[in-house]
């Protein structure tokens, strides 16, 4: 198995990013056996398809890399790199642009969603980034690609491109059979991730996109700040129920129990088995403790890494070198198949 996955660089990382995205990558890595490996990249090239601030992109890319390492991505077991440091990605995209059809890209719903009404003002990159995504995985002969609901269509596109390229250009073996250039990647269903809601409004997700929401727990918050934010979190006066059904109309309470469960690798049911009947006066300090203890080593390592740019750069440089090495033969084979 070779799993390839990119993550958009995000700055100001919070508990939702950790439980919903970063920790899942660590779990994916830990599920790999001897013969399997994960390639994880910061999708910085994808970020330029939307209006962006260059300084902010550099900062967010480094922060995300530091967070991945701090949370347990092991650069000796997985390949961790920046997409922009591996020129084979945009190179391969161009080579695949010859195979991708306008009609296929026209059907991508993400372009319609992200360009909105201003189709003419959208960047060309926003239109063609699904081809870059195809390049991202085909370049490494990925066998599996983790996909959420919104990315299924893009994986289908990658498979269509690979299939058409193999069909049109694959060289022949001596016995006349095809020697495919690309592996068709399968979807990989990642371990279920928690969805964390805002601590002041259980109907909104915890997100950095709402700057007025100060309740968000950040990966770099100190223990005092975490305890205060949990104490202030919106709740109701009822004690916790004995089972999940009792939380159906209590989104804020459900969210806090969900966070506790996610941080302790338990379930909502198991947390309620322990805390059912107790009020928030008991549950909140317990949750705060769990968060402080779990996040402490992560934020310490995160801050160390960010303070030591050289080590972080070295980790990424090693990852990029490894990625270039894996991509090399496929890139060569692609040029050759095209007569270039």
Residue 146 CA, distance from chain mean position = 9
Query: Cβ of residue 23: shortest distance to ligand ADP, in angstroms?
Result: 10
Q: Which does 183 bind (CB under 5 to 8 A by kind): Na ion, ligand ADP, none?
A: none
Which three-class secondary structure state does DSSP give residue 83?
A: helix
Which three-class secondary structure state does DSSP give residue 328?
A: helix
Which residue is nearest to ligand ADP, using beta carbons?
20
Examine residue 42 and tell whether it contacts ligand ADP (CB under 6 A). no
Tell me which residue of 228, 216, 151, 237 sits closest to 188, measured CA to CA.
151
Among 27, 59, 164, 208, binds ligand ADP (CB under 6 A): 208
Examine residue 211 and tell whether it contacts Na ion (CB under 5 A). no
The single residue of 205, 229, 231, 284 carrying the catalytic annotation is: 205
Query: Cβ of residue 65: shortest distance to ligand ADP, in angstroms?
Result: 14
Residue 277 CA, distance from chain mean position = 37
Residue 279, both tokens? 């009020």
- Determine whether the annotation assigns residue 213 to a binding site: no
Among 207, 215, 264, 303, binds ligand ADP (CB under 6 A): 207
Residue 329, both tokens? 């033969």
208 counts as catalytic: yes
Give the Cβ contact number of residue 260 at 10 Å.
22
Task: Decide if 310 contacts 60 (C-beta within 8 A).
Answer: no
Query: Cβ of residue 8: shortest distance to ligand ADP, in angstroms?
Result: 6
- Determine whether the annotation assigns residue 32 to a binding site: no
- Determine whether the annotation assigns residue 160 to a binding site: no
Task: Decide if 20 contacts 13 (C-beta within 8 A).
Answer: no
Q: Which is nearer to ligand ADP, 173 or 209 (CB)?
A: 209
Q: Pairing mode, if any, of strands 79-82 and 144-146?
A: unpaired
Examine residue 209 and tell whether it contacts Na ion (CB under 5 A). yes
Examine residue 130 and tell whether it contacts ligand ADP (CB under 6 A). no
- Determine whether the annotation assigns residue 206 to a binding site: yes
Q: For residue 202, give Cα distances in angstroms to 151, 208, 266, 305.
A: 26, 15, 21, 33
Q: Which is nearer to ligand ADP, 271 or 337 (CB)?
A: 271
- The residues of the shown chain that bind ligand ADP, judged by CB under 6 A, are 10, 16-17, 19-21, 195-196, 205-209
- Catalytic positions: 114, 205, 208
């Amino acid at each position: 198995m070779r799993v390839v996955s990119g993550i958009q660089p995000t700055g100001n990382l919070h508990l939702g990013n950790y439980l919903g995205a970063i920790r899942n990558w660590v779990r994916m890595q830990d599920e790999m056996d001897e013969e399997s490996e994960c390639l994880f990249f910061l999708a910085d090239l994808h970020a330029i398809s939307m209006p962006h601030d260059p300084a902010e992109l550099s900062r967010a890319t480094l922060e995300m890399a530091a967070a991945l390492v701090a949370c347990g991505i092991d650069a000796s077991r997985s390949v961790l790199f920046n997409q922009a440091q591996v020129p084979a990605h945009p190179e391969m995209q161009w080579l695949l642009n010859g195979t991708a059809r306008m009609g296929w890209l026209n059907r991508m719903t993400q372009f319609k969603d992200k360009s909105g009404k201003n189709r003419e003002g959208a960047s060309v990159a926003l239109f063609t980034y699904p081809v870059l995504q195809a390049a991202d995985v085909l370049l490494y002969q990925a066998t599996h690609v983790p996909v959420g609901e919104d990315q299924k269509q893009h994986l289908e596109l990658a498979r269509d491109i690979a299939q058409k390229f193999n069909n049109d250009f694959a060289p022949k073996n001596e016995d006349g059979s095809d020697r495919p250039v690309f592996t068709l990647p399968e979807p990989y269903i990642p371990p279920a991730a928690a969805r964390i809601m805002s601590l002041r409004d259980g109907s909104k997700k915890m997100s950095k996109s709402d700057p007025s929401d100060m309740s968000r727990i950040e990966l770099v918050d100190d223990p005092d700040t975490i305890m205060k934010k949990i104490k202030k979190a919106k709740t109701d006066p009822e004690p916790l129920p004995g089972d999940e059904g009792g939380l159906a109309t209590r989104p804020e309470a459900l969210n806090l129990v969900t966070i506790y469960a996610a941080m302790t690798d338990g379930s909502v049911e198991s947390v309620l088995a322990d805390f059912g009947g107790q009020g928030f006066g008991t549950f909140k300090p317990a949750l705060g403790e769990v968060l402080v203890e779990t996040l402490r080593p992560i934020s310490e390592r995160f801050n160390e890494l960010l303070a030591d740019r050289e080590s972080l750069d070295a980790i990424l440089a090693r990852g990029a070198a490894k990625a270039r090495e894996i991509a090399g033969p496929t890139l060569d084979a692609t040029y050759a198949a095209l007569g270039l």
